[in-house]
Structure 1
Amino acid sequence: MTRLIGYTRELTPDTGTAADVAVLTAVGAVRVFTDVASADARKRPGLAACLTFLEPGDVLVVSSAAQLSHAVTHFVSTLAALTDRAVEFRSLSEPALCTGVEPGAGPAEVFAALEGLRRRLVSVRTRAGMAAAAASGKRPGRPTVMTPDKVAMAVELRRLDRPITHIARVLGVSANSVQRALDHLPRTS
């Protein structure tokens, strides 16, 4: 008898897995394994337990292939290992990546789905990196040229009714940098 076994993970911290678990259970998963987000996406005890639990004839079902793998190469190698063990794979959001007896997708659809997976995983890693940077007090992006001293000087020169272009020339920065710095300050009457 074919069993549907589900797997999901938090793609970013504090997003939870409850919604995915509910979806996987609704499609018939008899058991759903989960993992919480961690600094190293390769360390997932829930996935290891899930892969060990699977038996020939089972179907591993996920809401998205991004839940299963941290990289496209990992996804492909995991699918190959499942196929070798006679375990099918079903992704609810990427039918082109599913295995089994149903007619498969053409090569163009498979490659398009793999490219979509690659983009999604890059996005997940980028958001996780930005969240980690913000948690450690770092601001992503290029550092500002407007130091606190330059902002104070710009404020003083603006109080003297100097034009933004003059202030920028004095400080050695662009007029846009001065304008942005002044715009972020609280207004005084």
Structure 2
Amino acid sequence: MTRLAGYTRELASGAGTSADAEQLARAGAAPVFADEELAGARRSPGLQECLEFLEPGDTLLVTSAAILAPTVPQFLRAMSDIAGRGAGFRSLSEPALSARVGVAADPAEVFAALEALRRRLVSLQTQAGMASAASEGRRPGRPTVMTPERIAMAVELRNLGRPVTHIARVLGVSANAVQRALASTPAAEPTQRL
């Protein structure tokens, strides 16, 4: 007797798994295993429990292949583990990555789906990294060259009526950096020259 088991995990902090679990249940998965907290592939007790539940002929159902593992190599290892148990795999959103026992897939479709999966996983990791940096008060991207001291000097030179190119040359930065810094500071009346 073949069974359809579902698995889901939280892909983004606070996203939860209830919507995926409901979708898997509607697709016929019973039981549905879940990992509620963001976790790496090594700390996924729900996935481990799900894999131990699978028997030959069963199928593991997920809403997206990205749920199975955080990287493509880990996804491929999980697929190998599933196949080693004699079970199949089915993704609702990436049918090309679905694998049934004894059914061959078109390699071109599989490679295209793996590349799309890789891009999605990189995007998820980038979003998680940016959220982590924001929670620690850090801003992603290059640090600005306009330190508070340089901004104060630029404002002083602007108030003396100096052009942006002159200010940039004095400070040793680009004119664009000076313009951005001056745009974010309040304008003062230029000092009259004698």
2:42 aligned partner, one-letter code: R
Q: Among the aligned pairs, what percent are the same residue?
A: 61
Structure possessing the higher radius of gyration over alpha carbons = 2
Q: Normalising by the residue count of structure 1, what TM-score does the alignment of the two structures yield?
A: 0.90
* SS of residue matched to 2:89: strand
Counterpart Cα distance in 2 of 1:113 and 1:100: 16
Counterpart Cα distance in 2 of 1:31 and 1:169: 68
Structure 1 residues 58 and 187: CA distance shift in structure 2, 3 A: farther
Indicate the residue corresponding to 1:61 in structure 2: 61
Indicate the residue corresponding to 1:49 in structure 2: 49
Number of positions where the alignment pairs a residue of Structure 1 with one of Structure 2: 189
Counterpart Cα distance in 2 of 1:72 and 1:154: 49
The farther-off stretch of 105-114 and 40-49 is 40-49
Alignment map for 1:5-20 (pairs within 5 Å): 5-20=5-20
CA RMSD of aligned residues (A): 2.1
Give the drift of 1:188.
7.0
Are the equivalent residues in 1 in contact too, given 2:88–2:101 (CA < 8 A)?
no
Are the equivalent residues in 2 in contact too, given 1:42–1:70 (CA < 8 A)?
no
* SS of residue matched to 2:42: coil
Are the equivalent residues in 2 in contact too, given 1:151–1:182 (CA < 8 A)?
yes
Indicate the residue corresponding to 1:168 in structure 2: 168
> CA offsets, 1:17-62, max 9 Å, x none?
2221221121111122222343645311111121122222221101
> Runs ≥4 in structure 1, deviation > 6 angstroms?
none
Give the drift of 1:3.
2.1
2:17 aligned partner, one-letter code: T
Are the equivalent residues in 1 in contact too, given 2:57–2:86 (CA < 8 A)?
yes
For structure 1, list consecutive stretches of 5 or more residues without a partner in the other structure: none
Give the drift of 1:102.
8.5
1:164 aligned partner, one-letter code: V
Structure 1 residues 183 and 32: CA distance shift in structure 2, 3 A: farther
2:165 aligned partner, one-letter code: T
